[in-house]
Structure formats: structure tokens, C-alpha cells
Amino acid sequence: MIPALVLGVLSLVALSPGYGGFEVTSTFNDLSGLNRRLDTLLGTHHFTYSAPMWWFGGHGGEHVGPVTLGGSGAFAPYAKQSDSLKSQLAAIRANFEVGFPYSPNEWVQVRPCLELGATGLLVYAQTVTAATKKWFAAWSIGTTPGFEVMGILPTSPESFIGLFLKASYLIPISGPSWFGDSPPPAFSLSGFALQLGVRFGKTGSSTAGDDVEY
């Protein structure tokens, strides 16, 4: 399910005739439940996973009347290693988004938006001697309301480059559904997020009797 969603979103990013770009996101999740579970299972007190998690991804979309419709995909690699243990955490996500853009002038756009998507998570940990190994995987579905502010630099009458900052909050709807070793960690990837990115797009063309531009 998760790989299919990621593939669909990345295809949308690549083929979108409206706008697309890249972003880096920091999410402020509570990872203490993961640390406690790994310490218990491996008999240590050294796991120090902490926020923020860093995600790298791309997005794309199109203006459809007064709204924007699009999507995004991202991944987050995370690793820890000490003298006695090592661990890797990897996550992917795929979201579909609807936004409500407003431009007070040609240089600035504000956009309340709402995303719906899925997140996949894989955690692997072992002692350095490999005497003890544990792994967990999970998926969840959530909604993410957010608010975006973008500065716009027109590059031609029909195109622009934008730099945007977006604040949002992930609210779980279903999950996480865990599988792998038992018992699973008691935590999820819900939480506050900040996103910074660059966007390349086309301006909306005006028709007779319609002086609205995007």
C-alpha cells in the first residue's frame, strides 16, 4: 500500500503542468517511547532518538479554479550507533493535498491547506556483536492541516520561482499498525512540523472577463 502511494505521488510531481518543487521538513515527534522500548529489549540505557526528524521530498500540483490540488512524497533516514549498539530508523510518506491560495500581490501568497496520506516506518536495532537483534515496522494514516507563506519571484509573464515556509500538524486517523518483533514501541509520528522548500510553477492565464491570477 505505502510503496504504491509513494509511486503515485512522485509520478504526480514529475508530470504536473502546474507547479512542483522540493522541500526539507523537520518534524517534532515524541520518540521517548521508542527509546524506552529499545532499551528494554536490548538491555541498554543508551538509545537517544530525539526530535527533530528530517524529511527530504518533492511535491507537485495544479490550480483548479480557486483551489490547488496536488501531492507530495518524502523519506526520512535516521541512524544511531555507540560502542555497544546500533540502530536505523527509516520512514516514508505520501500525501494528497488541497489548498486555498490567496495572493495579496504578485510577490506573496498565503495558502491554508489540508493533507491526507499514509506514513510507513521501519526500525532496526542490534548490539554491535549482533547477539541481540530487533526490528519493527508500521504504517498509519493521518490528516495534516497546515498554513503556508510563499515569496514569489516572477521569471517570465507565465512562470515563477517561489520560496515557501509551511507549518502543519499531523493528526493520526488510523494506526500505527505494527508488525515485527513484540511488543512494539509505544509511539507514533504525530506532531508539529516545519517545512522549507522551493517551488517552480506557471502563473494562471487570464481570460476575457476574468482578471484573477494565481
Model confidence over 123-158: pLDDT tens digits? 888 876 767 788 888 889 999 999 999 999 988 878
204: exposed, middle or buried (C-beta count within 10 Å: 0-12, 13-18, 19+)? middle
Residue 78 clears pLDDT 70, i.e. is over it: yes
pLDDT higher at 209 or 157:
157
Residue 60 clears pLDDT 60, i.e. is over it: yes
pLDDT band at 184; cut points 50, 70, 90 = confident
Q: Between vectors from CA 79 to CA 86 and to CA 123, what angle results, nearest 5°?
A: 80
Matching residue, cell 527509546: 35
SS3 assignment, position 33: helix
Tell me which residue of 121, 134, 145 sits closest to 53, measured CA to CA: 121
Do the beta carbons of residue 70 and residue 18 sit within 8 Å? yes
Which domains, from first to last, does the chain contain?
2-202 (2.40.160.20)
Q: What is the average pLDDT value for the chain, to the nearest integer?
A: 82
pLDDT band at 17; cut points 50, 70, 90 = low
Phi and psi torsions of 44, nearest 5°: -130, 180
Instruction: Answer positive or negative: Cα dihedral of 22, 149, 153, 201.
Output: positive
- Mean pLDDT within 35-63: 84
Do the beta carbons of residue 53 and residue 79 sit within 8 Å? no
- Which range has the worst mean pLDDT, 35-49, 67-81, 105-119, 166-180? 35-49
Do the beta carbons of residue 45 and residue 37 sit within 8 Å? no
Q: Which three cell numbers stand for residue 8?
A: 503515485
Separation between Cα atoms, residue 26 and residue 56, nearest integer Å: 9
